[in-house]
Amino acid sequence: MAKRIADKELTDRNWDQEDEGEEAGTFSIASEDVLKNRAIKKAKRRNPGAEGDGGAAFRGFKGFSAAPSAIPAPFSGFGKAGSFEGFGLTNGGSKALYTGVSSATVGLTFNGPYVPPTADITTRQTNGSSPSPTQSNKEYRRQLTALNCSVRDWITKHVNDNPLCDLNPIFRDYERHLSSIEQQHGGGEAADGGSETPPPSAALFSFSRTTSEDLAQKVSGTAPVASGITFNFGQKTSLFGAPGPAALPPFGGTKPDEAADENGDEESEEPPKPEVKEVKEDDAFYSKKCKLFYKKEAEFKEKGVGTLHLKNTSDGKIQMIIRADTNLGNILLNIIVQHSMPCSRVGKNNVMVVCVPNPPVHDKNPSGPVPLLIRVKTDEDADELHKLLEERKG
Amino acid sequence: METSTDYDELGTRLHQFKNKGRNATEQTRRRKEFHVKLRKAKKDDQILERRHVQTLQEEPTSSPQVSGLLPQQYPLQEILAGVNSENREDQFLATQAVRKILSRDNQPPIDRIISAGLIQKFVSFLGLFECPPIQFEAAWVLTNIASGNPAQMNAVVVGGGIPGFIRLASSSYLKIREQAIWALGSIAGDGPDCRDLVIKHGGHGFVVALVESPDLSTFPLAFIRNITWTLSNLCRHTDRPPPLEAVKRMLPALVRLLHHNDKEVLSGACWAVSYLTSGSNERIEVVVQTGLVPRLVQLLSCGEHSILAPALRSLGNIVTGTNEQTQCVLNAGALAVFPALLCHRKSNIQKEAAWAVSNITSGKATQIQEVIDAGLIPLLVQILQQADYKTQLEAVWAVINLTKVGTLNQVSYLYRCNVLGPLFNLLTVKDDTIILIILEAISNILQMAESVGEGEKVCLMIEKLGDLEKIEALQFHSNESVYKYSNTIIDRFFSGQNEDEFGIPEANPDHCVFHAPDNQSTFQF
């Protein structure tokens, strides 16, 4: 038990004195000698190219090889300008990763023909500009469609699993979401909906008995048109979903005991499981979870984990899309598979292709071809993917 | 007024003594002189009666009646002669003269009185129950001396002042008992040695008897306040607390005073409780056993800062005790008052409240639940975002304790209250310990999330908040432990090793080995 007694005695003689304000101050940096011997690690970013909401303080922070003057407060205590020169902190990847930080917009800007609907919704919300009535209506229809399809699918699934389940919570959730959509987009309303601090994927609604929102949803693709919109129903077993928009009060003071208990699911007897779904793009004929690497200089660098989809295009080619398995759902790769594209089976469970990557992976040479390594779970999966690509690339 | 009765009586008694062994003329002269002076003295004292007893030392020196009693009229020799005479009247006059001299504001000649060897005499006068006026004046003189510097107080103590004052408990004159209480409070407040000496002589019994007397409510308010003040001084000096037996004796009286309605009395009583609870769990237990905790909680809402501060400190002390002692405070409904306290305009109160919460969240999960149910977590998060730094530190402790003791649901609730962002913002502070604690709290949250397969979400949130840079930056911290810890956290949660079923990326994937997780049937996220 870690009880801490009072730091100073309080008496009728000193109680009314204001404490000398203790300052928070800033921590001190180790000396260069010490730093030389330290192994400094880089944290893996799950969203390369995406900027965090709170990243404002570190905007323009180009990594530790920058001159200290470029480093914003509170790191102004970093010391003399010379101390970080030649600090070989670049693992090669750091600079590339940090360029994402300085991009101006939160969210996803893509060049190229394909503009995923999530980006649409995102930029609309973060721009804070009022959508025009036509756009709004379109959005309203899209959202409503997505909502109805989601509820249809959810009910189907759960009633199939357990015909005795109580659907009332679902209808309550439906009501809530419907009014939310109507507020945001219904009747051509100009107001830009959304919460004060919308995460870029605010288009994803989540339903929860506990009102805890789980924004880390994979794109379910049940909505026919807007693949970026997902509605989830029922008790969320997610305890660590994204926090609510405001600190006060969270969820009307809901007690966590009313939240997902370990086994407290009314709808089903199963213990809570995290979301496990294969992502379905509606018109993809092949989807598989994978990890994407790209070659830079002598080594392969990770681009991200996501789901690879193969789709038919109108002109008979196939399109390969790899979408990240994050709440942002950003695109890791989006290319048309050309006939000439080299495609080989590598190692136990990899397929390697060479193409001009979209989105680009190199600042310096965005239009040059790059070897990409696609790693899947098993060797059979790799065989299958390789075969498909070879057969269908034309 | 009591005084006039007292003095008339006193006058009569003095008469009786005076007449022993004197001739008639002499008696007449002395009688007249005495009455003149007594009338003057009485008038002076009537002026003083109207003031609070604690201002007994002050005296208008410009009053014409008093001028006759200044040193010019009574040089030291005369005083000595008067004090040493057998004549009660002379003794009285001399003592009173000294009292008035010492009551001057500017530089009372205390040391002269001491060096003249007068203390012993005055102490003996305290025992003259047949002559209360002398007792009263002597008590006043000694009080004035004891209110001087430590050496002067010591002279009174060494001269037997303490038992002398304590004996005045049996005086039938309220004013005399009040004077004695005041003197004893002054002596006890000087330090643990004097305090324990007063206790040893039974001074605390004197005080307790007054509080427990059925006449308490008839006492003048000033007297009750004095009693409270003396009692609190008998509890003071927590570095060397008073003997436990004495504490047990004083507690019931304290409880009685806690139910009084005067602000000063309540404040003094709460201070006493705050001193008594600032000790070992055994001492806390003795206090809690009296059942005064609910009254303390009641007093939290009284709106008087002078009462709130010691009441809150008392409760804060109690929750540093055992889980059971902490539970007493919770059972009394304290937490219901905490939302107001955590947002109080005085940062000291916020800090004390946050400190108390930090000790409650270090107890049991059920107690954490009570903190949650009282709606306190969002307020802690608010404090972490914006508050006096010292208050923020307490909130940090409250958070980390929760992550250590709390259940999965409780920790996830904490997370959903947006605690991470403000916690991360505090990672720049100078204090190494705080940084390590915050890192530990963050690590605990991540581990909890991981244990239910939701570590990715939390990692993502941290990334989204832009806080990965903060952890990375800590690797440059001058403190080796901070470097190691931040390094470990990156390694453990942000290097993809544990969460990625695709294995560690290899430079040359042709030769990689697939590190398959044990369970390949479901994807773990």
User: Are B273 and B314 in contact, with CB atoms under 8 Å apart?
Assistant: yes
pLDDT at A97: 31
Hey, are the CB atoms on A41 and B514 less than 8 Å from each other? no
pLDDT of residue A394: 67
Q: In which order are the strands placed within the sheet that holds A370-375?
A: A331-337, A318-324, A299-312, A284-296, A370-375, A350-355, A343-346
Backbone angles phi, psi at B104, to 5 degrees: -65, 145
| Interface A-B: count of C-beta contacts within 8 A | 290
pLDDT, residue B105, reads: 67
Position B29 scores a pLDDT of: 59
- Of A289-293, B364-368, B392-396, least confident by mean pLDDT is A289-293
Q: In a mutagenesis test of the B interface, which of A7, A12, A204 is the best target, namely the one with the most B β-carbons within 10 Å?
A: A12
Cross-chain CB nearest to B363 (options A1, A6, A301): A1
Indicate yes or no: CB of A11 within 8 angstroms of CB of B397.
no
Supply A87's token pair: 């600090």
Q: Which residue has the higher pLDDT, B512 or A43?
A: A43
Show which of residues 64-103 on chain A sit within 8 Å of chain B, judged by CB atoms.
64, 74-75, 78
pLDDT at B18 over 90: no
User: How many Å lie between the alpha carbon of B495 and the closest alpha carbon of chain A?
Assistant: 5
Respond yes or no on whether the N-terminal peptide bond of residue A359 is cis (omega within 30° of 0): yes
DSSP-derived 3-state class of residue B498: coil
* Cβ–Cβ contact A297 with B under 8 A: no
On the question of pLDDT at B354 being above 90, the answer is: yes
pLDDT bucket at B496, cuts 50 / 70 / 90: low
Q: Residue A328: which of A104, A124, A57, A49 has the closest Cα?
A: A49
Query: Rounded mean pLDDT of A230-250?
Result: 54
**List of chain B residues whose C-beta atoms are within 8 Å of the C-beta of residue A22:** 389-390
Q: CA B299, CA B294: separation in Å to the nearest integer?
A: 9
Three-state secondary-structure class, residue A199:
coil
CB contacts, 8 Å: A377 with chain B: 501-502, 520
User: In sequence order, what are the residues at sequence separation of 6 or more whose Cβ sits closer than 8 angstroms to the Cβ of residue B86?
Assistant: none
Instruction: Give me Rg for the CA atoms of chain B.
Output: 34
Contact yes or no for A244 and B362 at CB 8 A: no
- Average pLDDT of the segment spanning B241-258: 97
Ranked by mean pLDDT, the top range of A17-21, A277-281, A304-308, B394-398 is B394-398
Q: Which of residues 113-152 of A touch B (CB under 8 A)?
A: none
Ranked by mean pLDDT, the top range of A61-70, A249-258, B53-62, B169-178 is B169-178
Look-up of token digits 């809150």: B312
Q: Report angle CA A290, A293, A299 to the nearest 5 degrees.
A: 150
On the question of pLDDT at A337 being above 80, the answer is yes
Q: Are A282 and A295 in contact (CB under 8 A)?
A: no
Look at residues A318, A314, A352 and name the one whose alpha carbon lies nearest to residue A334. Answer: A318
Nearest CA in chain B to A201: B464
Overall average pLDDT of the A229-249 stretch? 55
User: Long-range contacts for B120-125 (Cβ within 8 Å, ≥24 apart)?
Assistant: B120/B159, B120/B160, B121/B83, B121/B84, B122/B83, B122/B95, B122/B98, B123/B156, B123/B159, B123/B160, B123/B161, B123/B164, B124/B164, B125/B91, B125/B95
What is the distance in angstroms between the Cα of B419 and the nearest Cα belonging to chain A? Answer: 8
Cα–Cα distance, B288 to B293 (Å, whole number): 6
Contact criterion met (CB < 8 Å) for A247 and B385: yes
The answer to whether the beta carbons of residues B111 and B152 sit under 8 Å apart is yes
Of A99-113, A139-153, A365-379, B161-175, where does the model show the most confidence?
A: B161-175
Window 419-438 of B, Cβ < 8 Å to A: 420-421, 424, 426, 428-432, 435
Q: A33 pLDDT exceeds 80?
A: yes
B473 CB within 8 Å of a chain A CB: yes
pLDDT at B230 over 90: yes
What pLDDT was estimated at residue A20? 72
d(CA B388, CA B371): 22
- A6 CB within 8 Å of a chain B CB: yes
Which residues of chain A neighbour B525 with C-beta distances below 8 Å? 216, 274-276, 325
User: CB A56: neighbour CB atoms within 10 A?
Assistant: 11
The mean pLDDT value for B207-231 works out to 96
Confidence of residue A193 (pLDDT cuts 50, 70, 90): very low
Instruction: Grade residue A208 by pLDDT with cuts at 50, 70 and 90.
Output: very low
Q: Which residues of chain A neighbour B362 with C-beta distances below 8 Å?
A: 1-4
Contact map slice: B 241-270 vs A, CB within 8 A? 267-268
Question: Is the CB of residue B374 less than 8 Å from the CB of residue B339?
Answer: yes
pLDDT tens digit sequence for A74-95:
333 333 333 322 223 333 333 3
The shortest C-alpha distance from B275 to chain A (Å) reads: 8
State mean pLDDT over B261-275. Answer: 97
For A107, the closest chain B residue by CA position comes to: B464
Q: How confident is the model at residue A2 (pLDDT cuts 50, 70, 90)?
A: confident
Asked if B313 reaches chain A (Cβ–Cβ under 8 Å), the answer is yes
User: A115-124, B175-184, B214-223: lowest mean pLDDT where?
Assistant: A115-124
Tell me which of A14-28, B290-304, B464-478 is least confident: A14-28
Which of A8, A9, A10 is the mutation pick for testing B, counting most B CBs within 10 A? A10
Residue ranges of B 383-422 with Cβ closer than 8 A to chain A: 385, 388-390, 392, 397, 401, 404, 407-410, 412-413, 415-418, 420-421
Task: Give how far A215 is from chain B: nearest CA, Å.
Answer: 9
pLDDT of the residue at A176: 77
ipTM tops the 0.90 cut: no
The residue assigned the tokens 């970093």 is: A78
Task: Indicate if the pLDDT at residue B49 is higher than 90.
Answer: no
State the average pLDDT for chain B.
Answer: 85
- Cα distances (angstroms) measured from residue A166 to each of A162, A169, B15, B23: 9, 7, 101, 114
Distance from CA of A290 to the nearest CA of B (A): 8
B375 and chain A in contact, CB less than 8 A? yes
Omega into A250 within 30° of 0, i.e. cis?
Answer: no
β-partners of residue A293 are: A302, A373
Check CB contact under 8 Å for B511 and A377: no
Contact A54 B421 (CB under 8 A): yes
State the pLDDT at residue A156: 83
Per residue in B135-186, pLDDT (tens digit) is 999 999 999 999 989 999 999 999 999 999 999 999 999 999 999 999 999 9
Chain B hits for A97, Cβ within 8 Å:
none
Interface test with B, best of A11, A27, A294, A378 (most B CBs within 10 A): A27
pLDDT of residue B208: 97
CA distance A7 to chain B (A): 10
- What are the chain A neighbours of B265 within 8 Å (beta carbons)? none
In this prediction, residues A300-313 reach a mean pLDDT of 89
Average pLDDT of every residue of chain A: 64
Nearest CA-CA partner of B167 in B138, B191, B146, B192: B138
Which of B463, B471, B500 to mutate against chain A (most A CBs within 10 Å)? B463
Interface test with B, best of A240, A276, A373 (most B CBs within 10 A): A240
Confidence of residue A47 (pLDDT cuts 50, 70, 90): confident
Q: Which residues contact B95 (CB under 8 A, 6 or more apart)?
A: B82, B83, B122, B125, B134, B137, B138, B141
Contact: A74, B428; criterion CB under 8 Å: yes
Q: How far apart are CA B177 and CA B183, in angstroms?
A: 10
Cα distance between residue A92 and residue A103, in whole Å = 20
Query: With contact defined as beta carbons under 8 Å apart, do A192 and A203 qualify?
Result: no
Assess contact for B182 and B57: CB atoms under 8 A. no
Report CA torsion sign: A7, A12, A14, A16.
positive
Closest residue of chain A to B270, computed from CA coordinates:
A12
- The beta strand positions in A297-349, using DSSP E, are 299-312, 318-324, 331-337, 343-346
Please report, as a single letter, which amino acid is at residue B68: G
CA distance B293 to B315: 8
**Distance between CA A327 and CA A214 in Å, rounded?**
9
* pLDDT of B281: 96
User: Which residues from chain A sit within 8 angstroms of residue B496, using beta carbons?
Assistant: 44, 302
> Distance (Å, rounded) from C-alpha B251 to C-alpha B295?
14
More confident residue, A196 or A322: A322
pLDDT of the residue at A13:
87
Tell me phi and psi for residue A361, to 5 degrees: -105, -15
Rounded to the nearest angstrom, the minimum Cα separation between A304 and chain B is 10
pLDDT tens per residue, range B104-139:
867 888 998 999 999 999 999 999 999 999 999 999
Per-residue confidence band for B33, with pLDDT thresholds at 50, 70 and 90:
low
Give me the DSSP letters along B417-457: TT-HHHHHHGGG-S-HHHHHHHHHHHHHHHHHHHHTT-HHH
pLDDT band at A246 (very low <50, low <70, confident <90, very high): very low
CB atoms within 10 A of CB B431: 17
Question: In this structure, is the dihedral angle defined by the CA atoms of residues A231, A236, A241 and A245, taken in order, positive or negative?
Answer: positive
User: Looking at residue A264, what is its pLDDT?
Assistant: 38
How near does any CA of chain A get to the CA of B296, in Å?
Answer: 17
**Is residue B336 predicted with pLDDT exceeding 70?**
yes
B321 at interface of A, judged by CB pairs closer than 8 A = yes
Q: What does the pLDDT average to over A297-307?
A: 86
Q: Which helix (H) or strand (E) holds A353?
A: strand A350-355
Mean pLDDT of A308-331: 86
Residue scoring higher pLDDT (A87 or B481):
B481
User: What pLDDT shows up at residue B452?
Assistant: 87
Q: What pLDDT, on a 0 to 100 scale, did the predictor assign at position B345?
A: 92
Q: How confident is residue A131, by pLDDT bands cut at 50, 70 and 90?
A: very low
Nearest to A347 among B319, B468, B509 (CB): B509
Scan residues 189-208 of B and list those with Cβ closer than 8 Å to A: none
Lowest-pLDDT choice from A86-95, A309-318, A369-378, B405-414: A86-95
Extract long-range pairs of A73-82: CB within 8 Å, 24+ residues apart.
A74/A26, A74/B428, A75/B428, A75/B473, A76/A26, A77/A26, A77/A27, A77/A28, A77/A29, A78/A29, A78/B476, A79/A29
* Residue of B234, B502, B504 to mutate, testing the A interface (most A Cβ within 10 Å of its Cβ): B502
**Given B388, B429, B483, which is nearest A25 (Cβ)?**
B429
Residue B368 Cα to chain centre, angstroms: 28
Contact B458 A240 (CB under 8 A): yes
Residue A300 is given by DSSP the state: E
